[in-house]
Amino acid sequence: MTTTLFLLLFFNVRGIVSDPSGRPVEGANVACGPETNTTDSHGTFDLPRACEATVTKPGFAEKRVTLAESRDNLVKLELAAASDRVVVTATRAPLAVEDSGVATDIFTAKDFEPARGEFVQNLLRDVPGLNVVQTGRNGGLTSVFVRGGESDSALVLLDGIPVTEPGGGLDFAHLTSPGLDRTEVIRGPESVLFGAEASSAVIQMFTERGDPEATRPHGTLAYERGSFSTDHWTGGLNGGFANRLDYAFTSDQFRTTGEFPNDAFRITSGTANVGFRFSEATQLRAVYRTFDSYTGAPGQVAYGLTNFDANERARDAAVSLRLDDRRGKRFSQRVLFGYHRYRDTFYDVNSEFYDVSAFVKTDGIKTYFAGLAPAGAPGSVPGDGFVFASSGFTFTDRVSTGYQGTLSQGKGALVFGYDYERQAGVISGTDVARDNNGVYVHEQYALTSRIFVTGGARLEHSSTFGNKFTPRGAVTFRLLWETNFRLSLARGIKEPALIENFARESFFVGNPALKPEKTDTFEAGLFRDWFGKRVRTEVSYFRDRFTDRIEFDFSQNPATWENIDRSWARGVELSGSAKVWRFVNVRANYTKLYTRNVTNLTDPELVRRPRNSGSVALELTPRRWSFMGGARFVGERQEDDFVFFAINRNQGYEDVFMNGSFRVTRHLELHVRMDNLLDEQYQEVLGYTALGRNATGGVKLTW
């Protein structure tokens, strides 16, 4: 009673600090002149008088706010652009990485600077457990395999909206970096929160936002020129108005003639992010992103096969509208609407024939490509050099809506919600569609100051595969000496592609009775900070079991897809970073991966999953300039060969790179980037030569 009376008499200003999802933020510092106060577990603070206050919390952007003499001051913090210690995607609410119970990698604004490269795939190549595979050079079909999963088992989101095709397919060659502010990579199944396409990972991209408190617009212009007639321009504008409206617009174009005939690539993209703040408790945000691309497709030039006329044209658009609303200090809610459309046309009119042969080398049951040979040369293997003309059209779209509620507690938060999707497309000349409905609940809770649990479940109903239940649970132990140990179990599912359900051709048909592919995962991880958080290390062990894998069955007439395959993957991921000196940083990662195709004894290992892979980099960041140099290595891996029909292994390779920048003035910066410095001739996919040594230099203006 005495304490309550004291607060009523001497503290006239009271408020609540929350994160972007509306969850109270504990431990935020509210500074009001000489007086300071720290928020409690309910996000509440008290101050003796009204003032212009500054609110800070590690992992969040600093917030300046005017506090009135009342009890309903609401302060909403945003994630700091440079924060790599808070993750949103893992639990659909901001949470410290070490408490999330998942293996997480976060890329922040500095990673999307022009010196680092034009494409998101450049960053993903440095994530342990991920294998990025590109069929050739710029613009070539690019896939990502996560922890032994299939290339279509990782869900990609843009500000909460799926941008993968229905069933999980995505060409990562089309994901450009301009306009992005943050990317989170969650390794492991996340179907409990994101449904029937997140069976091996979730990759979420967040677009750049403006500042509603900005008094004038800020802009950027950048241009670079490089090898193989490559150039890239970028323009951006961001700002705010009247402390309520914020905006950020970005446009860019990348183009190159390529290294070989018919190797040109051009992609033009644009991003818009506009938000309106009705109040500190209620905000509306709209996001739009689009691209249009042209890609020449010369084919397997390393095998001596060149397609001179094949090309692909793609166009993509994604839009989302989100309303965030907070009711009181414990409850927040979100309504999200999204639409994604993808068009892809492949043209190939003329067939070509080449008389090709290859030398091979063998090591037991392993056979490697050793180089082209004169046609019919002794000791060589003849190939099928007929390049068939083929054309095709892909059209898919996806409408999604969802509701999410977050109920905050003193020691955690309960997240629950409902998602609806309508997935549609044109298959075999016919309009087809299917519907998905999902309800989920997920709890994050601190049992003690050293034991943190997260877990939940989802019930997914599809108009094609019926009902599926996907649970997930994790526990994190905060041990001594800045050490965290986590254990988790999860189930993920991946629904069939539209063509696998609905195709109606003369020689193959879809199978409407297909079940979703299923992934069951166990993971253990150890995370530790050393020497006052100057060194950070992490080790993760995982074991995945893949069942009901969908494969094309030629034994039937007409052929179709069936759930006939089973496989497994297990491995260890090691990663670490160290601040060696004031502006000297070192980072490295390594993955050891074992895979087994249980139902295919002729190909015991899963294709394009290397046994060994990793990267290392040295970064120097003094005040006016930066330098990064490093190397990525990928070991040999199982591969398919449909030209010589004798090769089953692809040799490993190393890619040495460097980049740097120099800030001439406050508004002018120069940068340079070089890739494949050793000019190594390698193939990420058999027959498709990777880009040779290349260099790019450019300039960036800001105001």
Judgement on whether residues 172 and 313 belong to the same structural domain of the protein: no
Same-domain status, 302 and 379: yes
Domain count, the chain: 3
CB atoms within 10 A of CB 148: 26
User: Domain check: are 199 and 104 in the same one?
Assistant: yes
Instruction: Work out the percent of the chain whose per-residue pLDDT is above 90.
Output: 78
What is the tens place of the pLDDT at every residue in 639-657? 999 999 999 999 999 999 9
Final residue of a domain: which of 29, 48, 76? 76
Six-digit token string for 374: 């004169």
pLDDT score of 59 more than 80 = no
329-348: string of b/e by CB count within 10 Å (b at 16+)? bbebbbebebbbbbbbebeb
Which tens digit of pLDDT belongs to each residue from 107-128? Answer: 998 899 988 899 999 999 999 9
Whether residues 276 and 308 share a domain: the answer is yes
Confirm whether 64 is domain-assigned.
Answer: yes
| Residues 167, 172, 174: CA angle, nearest 5 degrees | 110
Q: 216: exposed, middle or buried (C-beta count within 10 Å: 0-12, 13-18, 19+)?
A: exposed
User: pLDDT tens digits for 247-270?
Assistant: 999 999 999 999 999 999 999 999
- Of the three residues 46, 76, 106, the one that is the final residue of a domain is 76
What is the model's pLDDT at position 465? 96
CA distance 95 to 90: 8
Give the range of the structural domain holding residue 188, as residue numbers without chain letter: 86-207
pLDDT in tens, 180-235: 999 999 999 999 999 999 999 999 999 999 999 888 999 999 999 999 999 999 99
- Specify the pLDDT at position 81: 57
Distance CA 140, CA 472 (A): 36
Same domain, 247 and 98: no
Does 369 fall in a domain? yes
Q: What is the mean pLDDT of residues 438-447?
A: 94
Domain match, 181 and 241 both:
no
pLDDT tens by residue, 290-341: 999 999 999 999 999 999 999 999 999 999 999 999 988 789 999 999 999 9
Strands (E), 554-663: 560-581, 584-597, 612-620, 625-634, 637-638, 649-650, 653-663
Instruction: Check residue 8 and give its pLDDT.
Output: 40
Domain edge (last residue) among 207, 242, 263: 207
User: Does 213 fall in a domain?
Assistant: no
Whichever domain contains 64, its CATH number is 2.60.40.1120
Arithmetic mean of pLDDT, 388-409: 93
Q: What is the pLDDT of residue 481?
A: 82
81 belongs to a structural domain: no
Whether residue 71 is found in the same domain as residue 98: no
User: 589 and 497 in one domain?
Assistant: yes
Same domain? 160 vs 22: no
212 lies in some domain: no
Residue 347 has pLDDT above 80, yes or no: yes
The CATH number linked to 112 is 2.170.130.10
The pTM of the whole model exceeds 0.85? yes
455 inside domain: yes
Do residues 355 and 447 both lie within one domain? Answer: yes
Q: Is the pLDDT of residue 3 over 80?
A: no
Same domain, 264 and 303: yes
> Which tens digits make up the pLDDT trace of 521-567?
999 999 999 988 899 999 999 999 999 999 999 988 899 999 998 99
* 1: pLDDT strictly greater than 50: no
Q: Which residue has the tokens 């992609």?
A: 267
Checking if the pLDDT of 12 tops 90, the result is no
117 token code pair: 């490269």
CATH number of the domain enclosing 318? 2.40.170.20
Are 478 and 603 contained in the same domain?
Answer: yes
